Amino acid sequence: MLRFILIAVAAILLTIGLVKLVDKYIPSKYKPVLNIALWVLIAFLGYQTYMSIYTPILFNQEKDKRYAKVIKNLIDIRNSELAYKQVNGKFTDSFDELIKFIETAKFTITQRRDSVVIDKELTKRYGVDTTKEIVIIDTLGYVPVKDSLFKNSTRYKTMMNVPVGKPGEKFKLQAGFLRQNDINIPVFEASVSKDVLFYGKDEDLINAEKQVSSTVVGVPGDAIKVGSMNEVTTSGNWPKTYGANE
């Protein structure tokens, strides 16, 4: 981009020089047409230089807005997946299943309390009453998942839709298990590519955004996502400047 700006500025200066040469050496009858043509060229190059600076500014402003809207959906998806795992012991890769779960499932409300009881085995062994401590879990009731996560909102029905970018796109949802230390650990990932997210924008700026690394304040990689199929995490890959990522 800087190279283009320098070339455009050089072209403008060269064109201005040509205007002066025309004014000095070209016969008077040709001057009006040539001067108009050269000034039009100067105006065009000036506009191109201005847009080369202003377009990235507009892109960054729009980028922040689009990320903010997408992150809201990703957080809803994550919360729904965590609730699903709490009840079912695993994640799901089906939005239909997730919606059905939200509308029908309930959380069990429990209470832990310590208690002391007679240890029958030790009492029999020693011939005197011997006690032991135990933990009792009482079930207090049930709360619908929908009321707990979304209250009166129905946005869970559309959380799978990418709210900006290419029309009609949905988040990619994956779920499975990651084996660590001989244990299968449930994992999930919801994501959308930056090509979809910034559909219709300047291709060079989209490609530059896809090259953002994790060492830079921004969303690294070619997609924005929450969770991972390659590591045990339910965090989002966006910086906290865009909102809570875990």
pLDDT (tens digit per residue) in 145-155? 898 899 889 99
pLDDT of 118 higher than 90: no
Note the pTM of the prediction, 2 decimals. 0.72
Poorest-confidence range of 60-69, 106-115, 126-135? 106-115
Poorest-confidence range of 33-47, 177-191, 228-242? 33-47
Instruction: Tell me what the pLDDT averaged over the chain comes to.
Output: 81
What residue ranges do the domains of the chain occupy? 2-52, 59-103+147-242, 107-143
pLDDT of 191 higher than 80: yes
Maximal CA-CA distance, the chain? 127
Q: What is the pLDDT of residue 202?
A: 86
Residue in this structure with the two tokens 């499932």, named with its chain if needed: 105
